Amino acid sequence: MTPTIPFPRSLELVDGRSAALRSALAGALDERVPGCPDWTGRDLIAHLGEVQRFWATVIAAGRPDGPPEDADVPEREPVGDLLDWSERSTAALLAALRDAGPDRPVWSWWGPTTSGRVARHQVQEAGVHAWDAEATVGRDGPPGPPELAVDGVEEFLSVGVPTNGGWPHPPATVAVTATDAPGPGWQVALTSAGGTLAPGPATGDAVLAGTAGDLVLALYGRRPIEVLTVTGDPEVARRFLGWFRTG
């Protein structure tokens, strides 16, 4: 499935949403993060920085056969001033992506992929955690610019559905539709063998519809199902949202 955000714009979004996270949390380092209740603002900054340094190393290595060792990731844990370390973490990821371009073969936990596909995933990583940061200081808006959310629904489903293992319930079909995005939505077929994803109409045992922003946040467990319009079997819809492991 084709990303809707060009590679150069993906880098701009990673940069901008990472900066937004730091800005929101600069004065709230010890506040609890509602979307990650075991974390403080300090923990959230550290998490995003560690993720960005890890993927910077993956991209720079250009090896599709396996991840780097922890010791190969420079300054993976925060050192010195946390915000400065975080800013340098984002810069390291962006530098690695610019050097690689979008087509370098690389490893990922969802299978051999490209540097451009990792950039797409990192847009969502930074976008959702920037939303977490803003929620920590009482702001509850969308998870970034509209283009981020529209691409984010498919990005989440295209990674999560095929890698999530078997569906532990009776077979079902779930449709997901972004009401503010052009084109067809997505249909997910769920069996004990796992899930498959394809473009499709808003039909199935359960249909989840909402703005792209609300869908992204619901898929990541940041908004309740009640923000969406659910038709069909509500229990299938709830099981579907609860099937994904998010952080």
CB distance 28 to 48 below 8 Å: no
Topology adopted by domain 152-243 = Nonspecific Lipid-transfer Protein; Chain A (3.30.1050)
Beta-bridge mates of residue 208: 176, 230
**CA nearest to 214, candidates 161, 157, 153:** 153
Q: How many CA atoms lie within 13 A of 80 on its CB side?
A: 9
Q: What is the pLDDT of residue 247?
A: 62
Burial of 139 (0-12, 13-18, 19+ CB in 10 A): exposed
Q: What is the pLDDT of residue 121?
A: 97
Q: What is the pLDDT of residue 107?
A: 97
Ranges under pLDDT 70 in the chain: 1-2, 247
Gap between the Cα atoms of 78 and 91, Å rounded: 15
DSSP state for residue 102 in the 8-state scheme: T
Segment holding 39, helix H or strand E:
strand 36-40
Q: What is the pLDDT of residue 245?
A: 76
**C-alpha triplet 183, 247, 109: angle, nearest 5°:** 75
Residue with tokens 């974390």: 39
Domain definitions of the chain by residue range: 7-141, 152-243
Gap between the Cα atoms of 206 and 199, Å rounded: 15
Topology adopted by domain 7-141 = Four Helix Bundle (Hemerythrin (Met), subunit A) (1.20.120)
Q: What is the pLDDT of residue 141?
A: 87
Q: What is the pLDDT of residue 168?
A: 95
Gap between the Cα atoms of 217 and 214, Å rounded: 5
